[in-house]
Every structure is written in structure tokens, then in C-alpha cells.
């Protein structure tokens, strides 16, 4: 067991990520506080969200030190959700337009 | 696991890394994931949980896109009046920082567990659980506030009726995960303190519990961005 690698990394790595997560959270809060709107707001929210998610998975959950076999098995299946998101975005738009036609005006 | 590790060292070939290693891990007649089974299982459970929350958030976005009634502005709905001034979304921001801090203490706990520092590990894990309990407490406060204001799963005074059902379902399911995590971490922390893992030297248990906890934080990142900030 001893040589099967354990996840032992310098504490400073965790502090750095901790700090970065605080900064990114503050930035995403500021997006709301400063009343940004439209595509700027949405893209900033998504960018900060993905950066935070990446830091948590890569460092706190030690994914960047795992072997590719585990990385691919865990990180690629969620991409299926992109298909669901696309389909539901089309569906959502369709429902909105249909509702506008029938209930609107 | 021990047996597997031995075969690795006994064999002439050391496990290669990168894409070659990926192919070797998946195509050879050996255990595919070179991690303790508990860790692989936790990752697979978290993957399935990703799909649950992914579907929740997609469903929420779909009803939000399809409603003809304006969506309540989360910035105002979740504002708190502190010292006479109304601060938008402040409660949610504090909850976010609490959960991030809990993730930080958990990561440190895993680190100290591998160093076999049982007291520090237990203290950090209990701190994590305490942060988690605080988070759930604040969520209970938030729910109470919204229910008093008339938010129900079938309607609310601020706008689109779907707001309530999305809010209660998504935050409720996440809150349930945090609550379970607090119990899970407390149990593991006490076992560490009692020296249960000292006999086997198997401190992977702490890392596996940590994976679950970081996942709870990870889900909150998505809820915070897509539900509260959007």
C-alpha cells in the first residue's frame, strides 16, 4: 500500500487555491453588486463558475494528480449534459414562443 | 488493493503515464483504476450525483426560459437589510464564503490525515462539519424568510410561479447533501480520533470523505452562479 501513491502535497497549494476561490467568489458577487447586465453578466458568471469548479476538482479533489484512466472516466461523461442543455434550450424557446402565441397579448 | 500494488511492482513494467498509461489501464486484464476501490466508488457516485444536479439545473433553466411572466430578481429576493441599508444577495455571498472555507479546512484535514496527525485531522474535520452546519442553519433562515414572504412551490408574489419549485427543489436537495456530509464527516472524524484507521494505516477514508465534501462545495458553485446570480 505504501508505494501506491497517496495524495500528499504541500499545504501552500491548498492555501493558494483557497485564496483564489475567495477572490473568484468576490468577483462573481461583484458582477451582481455592480449591476452588470446581458451577455457581459452571463459570460462573467460562467467564466468565474468554471474557474472555481476547475480549481476545486483539480486541486481539492486531487484530480490533476490522478491517472488519466480515472480522469477520463469521471470528467468526460458529464459532457453528455451539454446535449441535454442544448435540447432543453431549444425546447424552452419553443415553449416560450408557443405560450406567447396562446396566452400573450 | 495490496495484492494489486504488488503485482505492479513485481511485473517488469512500471505503470506508464499519459495516454499510453490510459490505454494500458483500460485494455490490460488488470484493475483499471489504480486507486483504492472506495475512492473509485466515491468518484462514480459523485458522477451520478453530477447528473442529478445537472438535470435539476437544466430543468430550472428550461422553465425559466419558457415562462412568459418575469422571473423574480434573485438579487432583490435574497437581499438583507443590515443596519438600515439593503445589501443585495449578501446572505448567499456569506454562505458561499462559508462553504469555500469548509472546503479549505477539509483539504487540510486530508493532508494531515496522510501525515497521521490524528488530533489535527479530527479538529479540521470537525471545523469543516461546523462550517457545514452553519451553512445549513443559514439556509433554514433563508427558507423561513422566503416562506414568510409567501414563496410557495406553486407560486409567489414576486413573479413567475416556477421560481418557488425550482428554489425549494435545488437548494433543498443541496442542503440535504450538506446535512448528510456533516453527519458523515463527524463520524469519520471521531473514528480518526479513536485511532480506528491507525491499525490498518488506511487514511484513504479521510480523502474519500473529503471528495464527497468538495463535491458539495462544487455543486454550490454551480447553484450560486446559475440560480442566484443569473
Q: Where are the domains of chain B?
A: 1-34, 36-229
What mean pLDDT comes out for the span B65-72?
Answer: 91
Which residue from A1, A46, A60 is facing B107, i.e. has the nearest CB?
A: A60
pLDDT band at residue B82 under the 50/70/90 scheme? confident
Q: Which residues contact B89 (CB under 8 A, 6 or more apart)?
A: A29, A32, A33, B74, B75, B78, B79, B228, B229
- Do the beta carbons of residue B123 and residue A66 sit within 8 Å? no
Q: What is the pTM of this model?
A: 0.90
Q: What is the pLDDT of residue B89?
A: 87
Q: What is the pLDDT of residues B15-54, one digit of tens each?
A: 778 888 888 888 888 888 888 899 999 999 999 999 999 9
Calculate the average pLDDT of chain A: 89
Give me the count of residues in chain B: 230
pLDDT at B140 over 90: yes
pLDDT at B181 over 80: yes
- Do the beta carbons of residue A70 and residue B33 sit within 8 Å? yes
Question: What are the start-end ranges of the H helices in B28-152?
Answer: 37-66, 74-77, 90-114, 118-148
% chain A with pLDDT above 90? 70
- Do the beta carbons of residue B48 and residue A74 sit within 8 Å? no
Output the DSSP codes for B62-77. HHHHH-SSPPP-HHHH
Q: Which residues contact B117 (CB under 8 A, 6 or more apart)?
A: none
Q: What is the CATH superfamily name and number for domain B36-229? A: Cytochrome c oxidase, subunit III, four-helix bundle (1.20.120.80)
Among A32-36, B66-70, B197-201, B222-226, the range scoring the smallest mean pLDDT is B197-201
- Domain ranges in chain A? 1-66, 67-105
Closest C-alpha to B111, from B98, B96, B99, B123: B123
Contacts with A18 from chain B: Cβ below 8 Å: 100-101, 103-104, 107
Q: Cβ B229–A99 below 8 Å, yes or no?
A: no
Q: Cβ B9–A31 below 8 Å, yes or no?
A: no
Q: What is the pLDDT of residue B10?
A: 42
- Do the beta carbons of residue B55 and residue A88 sit within 8 Å? no
Q: Using CA atoms, how far apart are residues B166 and B104, in angstroms rounded to an integer?
A: 29
Q: What is the pLDDT of residue B8?
A: 46
Which residue from A18, A70, A96 is facing B43, i.e. has the nearest CB?
A: A70
What mean pLDDT comes out for the span A81-101?
Answer: 93
- Do the beta carbons of residue B92 and residue A45 sit within 8 Å? no
Q: What is the pLDDT of residues A33-81, one digit of tens each?
A: 888 888 999 999 999 999 999 999 999 999 999 889 899 999 999 999 9
Which residue from B33, B88, B108 is facing A11, i.e. has the nearest CB?
A: B108
Q: What is the pLDDT of residue B13?
A: 58
How many Cβ atoms sit within 10 Å of the Cβ of residue B12? 4
Q: Using CA atoms, how far apart are residues B189 and B174, in angstroms rounded to an integer?
A: 22
- Do the beta carbons of residue B213 and residue B103 sit within 8 Å? yes
Q: Using CA atoms, how far apart are residues B163 and A81, in angstroms rounded to an integer?
A: 22
What mean pLDDT comes out for the span A90-100?
Answer: 92
- Do the beta carbons of residue A72 and residue A63 sit within 8 Å? no
Indicate which of A70, A95, A98 best probes the interface with B, i.e. most B CBs within 10 Å of its own CB: A70
- Do the beta carbons of residue B194 and residue B27 sit within 8 Å? no
pLDDT at A3 over 80: no
Q: What is the pLDDT of residue A5?
A: 61
Among B19-33, B115-129, B171-185, the range scoring the smallest mean pLDDT is B19-33
Q: What is the pLDDT of residue A35?
A: 87
Q: Using CA atoms, how far apart are residues A1 and B201, in angstroms rounded to an integer?
A: 9
pLDDT band at residue A104 under the 50/70/90 scheme? low
Residue of A nearest to B229 (CA): A32
Q: Cβ B111–A29 below 8 Å, yes or no?
A: no
Q: What is the pLDDT of residues B123-133, one digit of tens each?
A: 999 999 999 99
Interface of B with A in 92-131 (CB under 8 A): 93, 96-97, 100-101, 103-104, 106-108, 110-111, 114-115
Torsion over CA: A66, A58, B44, B106 (sign): positive
Is B113 in a helix, a strand, or coil?
helix
Calculate the average pLDDT of chain B: 89
Which secondary-structure segment (H or E) carries B86? strand B85-87
How many Cβ atoms sit within 10 Å of the Cβ of residue B55? 13
Residue of B nearest to A77 (CA): B47
Amino acid at each position: 500500500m505504501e508505494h501506491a501513491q497517496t495524495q500528499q502535497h504541500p499545504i501552500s497549494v491548498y492555501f493558494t487555491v483557497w485564496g483564489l476561490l475567495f477572490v473568484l467568489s468576490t468577483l462573481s458577487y461583484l458582477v451582481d453588486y455592480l449591476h452588470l447586465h446581458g451577455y457581459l453578466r452571463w459570460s462573467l458568471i460562467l467564466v468565474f463558475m468554471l474557474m472555481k469548479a476547475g480549481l476545486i476538482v483539480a486541486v481539492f479533489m486531487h484530480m490533476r494528480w490522478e491517472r488519466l484512466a480515472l480522469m477520463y472516466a469521471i470528467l468526460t461523461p458529464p459532457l453528455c449534459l451539454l446535449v441535454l442543455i442544448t435540447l432543453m434550450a431549444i425546447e424552452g424557446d419553443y415553449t416560450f414562443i408557443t405560450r406567447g402565441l396562446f396566452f400573450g397579448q | 488493493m495490496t495484492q494489486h500494488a504488488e503485482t505492479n511492482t513485481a511485473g517488469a513494467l512500471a505503470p506508464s503515464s499519459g495516454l499510453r498509461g490510459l490505454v494500458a489501464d483500460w485494455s490490460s486484464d488488470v484493475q483499471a483504476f489504480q486507486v483504492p476501490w472506495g475512492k473509485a466508488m466515491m468518484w462514480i457516485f459523485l458522477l451520478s450525483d453530477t447528473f442529478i444536479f445537472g438535470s435539476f439545473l437544466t430543468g430550472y433553466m428550461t422553465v425559466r426560459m419558457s415562462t412568459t411572466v418575469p422571473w423574480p430578481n434573485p438579487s432583490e429576493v435574497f437581499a438583507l437589510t443590515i443596519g438600515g441599508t439593503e445589501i443585495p444577495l449578501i446572505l448567499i455571498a456569506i454562505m458561499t464564503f462559508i462553504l469555500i472555507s469548509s472546503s479549505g479546512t477539509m483539504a487540510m484535514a486530508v493532508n494531515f490525515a496522510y501525515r497521521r496527525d490524528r488530533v489535527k485531522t479530527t479538529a479540521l474535520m470537525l471545523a469543516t462539519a461546523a462550517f457545514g452546519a452553519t451553512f445549513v442553519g443559514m439556509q433554514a433562515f433563508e427558507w423561513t424568510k422566503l416562506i414568510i414572504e409567501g414563496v410557495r412551490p406553486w407560486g409567489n408574489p414576486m413573479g413567475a410561479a416556477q421560481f418557488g419549485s425550482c428554489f425549494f427543489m435545488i437548494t433543498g436537495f443541496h442542503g440535504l447533501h450538506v446535512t448528510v456530509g456533516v453527519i458523515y464527516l463527524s463520524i469519520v472524524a471521531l473514528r480518526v480520533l479513536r485511532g480506528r484507521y491507525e491499525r490498518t494505516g488506511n487514511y484513504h477514508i479521510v480523502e474519500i470523505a473529503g471528495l464527497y465534501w468538495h463535491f458539495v462545495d462544487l455543486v454550490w458553485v454551480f447553484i450560486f452562479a446559475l440560480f442566484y446570480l443569473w
